[in-house]
Amino acid sequence: MTANKIVAVGWNYRSHLSETHAKMPTEPIVFLKPMSAIIGDGDSIRIPPGVGRVDHEVELAVIMGEDARGVSIDEAPSYISHLAVANDVTARDMQTKAREDGNPWALPKGMDTFAPLSDPVPFDSVDDIQDLRLDLKVNGVLRQKGRTSLMIFPVAELIAYISRFMTLEAGDILMTGTPEGIGPLLPGDEVVARIEGVGTLRNPVV
């Protein structure tokens, strides 16, 4: 099962809206990250020179087990095969400028190494994906914490909404948004993202 794409959702936690001066979405805000951005646990996040501030965003990642096209909210969970911890690394200065100028976020969200992903665990091994604690530490200091119960659009609603327009293919990865506490990463940092029952994702920054 090979992933063809990473579909990511922006501003899916109320608490993250105010810190990024975003307004409450009436529908999920969907963007793509390229497969070439993926790295694994222990691999280095590489910040290219001259891009300004680069932020961490801990997120629950959902991996599709079957092609989902036009599925209902009720059916959506049966299309999930695995879960993982993701870090939606973002070149924030570039993204902010793109937002201001009305331009796409492809580069600020899609640079090489900007999609760290933990080893996946079976979906069935987690009781309730809408009641998991997630947190992220940089150099041992807690930066982000939240619960998946605080998502604006729960995972099943995201899958139903996205699959109305875009097939979520078997193996595709859905990143479900980040809670508050985003902050900058600097070379030499070590970033550790954790989700209760799902795993730990540790990446040095260079």
Which residues make up the interface to Mg ion (CB under 5 A)?
57, 88, 178
Q: Nearest to residue 176, comparing CAs of 146, 143, 138, 139?
A: 146
- Shortest distance (Å) from residue 99 CB to Mg ion: 13
The CB-nearest residue to Mg ion is 88
Q: Nearest to residue 172, comparing CAs of 47, 3, 1?
A: 3
Q: Nearest to residue 158, comparing CAs of 169, 174, 171?
A: 174
Query: In the complex with Mg ion, which residue's Cβ is closer, 144 or 178?
Result: 178
Query: In the complex with Mg ion, which residue's Cβ is closer, 178 or 203?
Result: 178
What distance in Å separates the CA atoms of residue 109 and residue 60, rounded to the nearest whole number? 17
- Shortest distance (Å) from residue 88 CB to Mg ion: 3
- Shortest distance (Å) from residue 25 CB to Mg ion: 13
CA 59 to the chain's CA centroid: 4
- Shortest distance (Å) from residue 8 CB to Mg ion: 6
Residue corresponding to tokens 């020179």 = 49
- The DSSP result for 159-181, as a single string, is HHHHHTTS-B-TT-EEE----S-
Query: In the complex with Mg ion, which residue's Cβ is closer, 30 or 170?
Result: 30
What distance in Å separates the CA atoms of residue 131 and residue 74, rounded to the nearest whole number? 18
- Shortest distance (Å) from residue 74 CB to Mg ion: 26
Query: In the complex with Mg ion, which residue's Cβ is closer, 107 or 170?
Result: 107
Residue 200: partners with Cβ closer than 8 Å, 6 or more residues away = 41, 85, 118, 192, 193, 194
Query: In the complex with Mg ion, which residue's Cβ is closer, 118 or 178?
Result: 178
